[in-house]
Amino acid sequence: MPTKRIVQDPDFGRIEIRTNRRARNITMRPKDDGLHVTVPPYTSLASVLKAIEPHRQTLREGCEKLRPRLIDLDFTIDAPCFKLCVASGTRQFFSVRFDDDKATVFCPPDTQFSRPEVQKLLSAAVVRAMKRRAQQFLPPLLAELASMHGLTYKKVRVTGARSKWGSCTSAGTINLSCYLMLLPPHLMDYVLLHELAHTREMNHGQQFYALLNSMTDGMALQLRSQLRAFRTSF
C-alpha cells in the first residue's frame, strides 16, 4: 500500500497521511502546510477521517497559528521594541525606510501580494529591518545587564535565527536572534540574562539556575514557561 497519501480538506487545505510500520496508533500534527497524520499499515482513509473529526476544531486552530501571515498593505508589527508597516511606494522596487523607531517597507504600486516570490521578498525585507533595529538595540542592552550583574563576555552577534532566541559559546561569544525584538521587554531581558549566565555556567544545572534566579528575582522557571508559550507575530 502507498506510504504517503494526500487528501484535500476545506479546513486544513491538505491532509498528508503517512504509513509507518512501527506506528501503533493514529497520530495527528498540525503544520503550516496542513495536517500531518501518521498511521499504522492498512489503516483506511475512513478510519483516519473518523479519528480527526472529534479534534477538528483544535487541529484547525493549530494549523492556522502555524501558517505564516500574509504580508500585504495591512501587515504590521507592533511589538514594544519594534514597529513596522507596509506601504505602497512610487518606485518599481522594494525598499525599507526607518523613521525613529518605526520601519516602513515600501512596495511597487502594482505588487501582487499573493505570489509566493513576492512573499519571499517581503519576508526577507522584514527580517532585514528587524535585524538592523536589533543590531542597534540588543548589544547596548546586553552590556547594561552584564554590567549590572558583574558578568563579562567576549563579543555579541545578532543573527537571523528563528530556531533559537540566543546562544553562548565556550569562548564567550553571545549570539542573539533578531526575533527577540518581537518579545515583551521582560522576556527579552530574560533571554539575555539566560545567555549571560552561560558565561559562568555553561550547562543547565543547579548552579546555572541558582545564578539565573539571582538575576530574575527567583522567577527563572516562570519566565522560561512564559517564553515557551509566547507566539511571535511574524
Strands annotated E in 95-172 = 95-99, 102-107, 155-159, 166-168
One domain for residues 141 and 223 = yes
Helix/strand/coil percentages in the chain, nearest 5: 40, 25, 35
Share of the chain above pLDDT 70, in %: 99
**56 falls within a domain:** yes
Instruction: Quick: pLDDT tens for 84-100.
Output: 999 999 999 999 999 98
Q: Which pLDDT belongs to residue 207?
A: 97
Which of the four pLDDT bands, split at 50, 70 and 90, describes residue 231? Answer: confident
One domain for residues 57 and 87 = no
Cα end-to-end span (Å), the chain? 40
What angle do the packed helices 185-197 and 116-149 form, to 10 degrees?
Answer: 60
Which of the four pLDDT bands, split at 50, 70 and 90, describes residue 81? Answer: very high
**28 falls within a domain:** yes
Residue linked to cell 552561560? 198
Residue linked to cell 519571499? 120
One domain for residues 158 and 218 = yes
| Domain residue limits at 57 | 4-66
Instruction: Quick: pLDDT tens for 27-49.
Output: 999 988 899 999 999 999 999 99
Q: How many domains does the chain have?
A: 3
pTM of the model: 0.77
**118 falls within a domain:** yes
